[in-house]
Structure 1
Amino acid sequence: MTTILLVDDHDDIRDMIARQLQQRGFAVATASNGLEAVLQTAQVAPACILMDINMPELDGIEATMQIRAADTEQRIPVIALTAYALPDDKDRALAAGCDAFLPKPVDFDQLFQQISELIGEESPQD
């Protein structure tokens, strides 16, 4: 089963996105901040990471840079998900190593299309 790591500091947003991913047949691992995301990435080896940008402990930009620095075997795709969808925010996320940038609220059709493009497969229920 394809595992997605979902990183968001808001429980309700994390739960809503996790349900959508699970309904599409993905296994979901979660983290509530960037520090947990770095640790979970090493433990879970997800096929893709959905990374919130504004979080406590370690923000999504710094977490992505740490994941990229440690990711020597493969390049795990990272999709930045953020309510702060200004051009500068997108540029910062992409410069940190994110592969894609999607605004919140999440358009799930767009999200699943992006996941499919980045991991090279359709969602399990497609």
Structure 2
Amino acid sequence: MKKVLVVEDNKDNLRLITYALERCGYQVIAAETGLKGVELAISELPPLIIMDINLPDIDGFEATRRIRESGADGTVPIIAITSYAMSGDKDRILASGCTGYFEKPIDPLTIMDKIHSLLEEQKLS
């Protein structure tokens, strides 16, 4: 079973993405802060990370930067799922080191197809 680290401070959003991931056979490791997310990324070395951007303590931009610079696999896919939807936000998120970006609210019935599609695109690049 593949592990996925989900860094999300909103319990409802965490429950929704966990449901979608577990439906597809993933084991979810959760962090409710950016610092805890960095810590778990380094200690657990998950093959996929789902990152909220607006987090308590350090934001998802900083958490992503620290994960990329850490002993964790610097190429691990980090997918931002965030409410940041203003012009330029997507470019800023991708420039920060995230592999992909999806806006909230997510549809738990279709988000995994979107994530898998994004991961396939990355393999082909």
Partner of 1:124: none
Q: Which residue of 1 aligns with 2:35?
A: 35
The CA distance in 2 between the partners of 1:4 and 1:117, in whole Å, is 16
> In structure 2, what is the equivalent of residue 10 of structure 1?
10
* Separation of aligned partners in 2, 1:31 and 1:113: 23
In the alignment, the residues of structure 2 paired with residue 59 and residue 73 of structure 1 have an alpha-carbon distance, to the nearest angstrom, of 20
Q: TM-score by structure 1 length? A: 0.85
TM-score of the superposition, structure 2-length normalised?
Answer: 0.86
d(CA) in 2 for partners of 1:80, 1:89: 11
* Distance in 1, Cα, partners of 2:53 & 2:116: 21
Indicate how the Cα distance of structure 1 residues 87 and 113 shifts in structure 2: closer, same or farther if over 3 A, else same.
farther
Q: Secondary structure at the match of 1:86?
A: coil
Q: Give the C-alpha shift of residue 84 in structure 1.
A: 1.5
Match of 1:86 in 2: 86
**What SS does the corresponding residue of 1:50 show, helix, strand or coil?**
strand
Deviation at 1:5, TM superposition (A): 0.7
**What are the superposed Cα offsets for residues 57-98 of structure 1, whole Å, 9 maximum, x if unpaired?**
110011001111115645110111111112321111111100
What residue ranges of structure 2 are gaps of 5+ in the alignment?
Answer: 121-125
Give aligned pairs, total. 120
- 5+ residue gaps in structure 1? 121-126
- Structure 2 residue matching 1:56: 3-state secondary structure: coil
Aligned to 1:23: 23
SS of 1:58's partner is coil
What letter matches 1:82 in structure 2?
A: T
- Pairwise mapping of residues 48-67 of structure 1 onto structure 2 (< 5 A)? 48-67=48-67
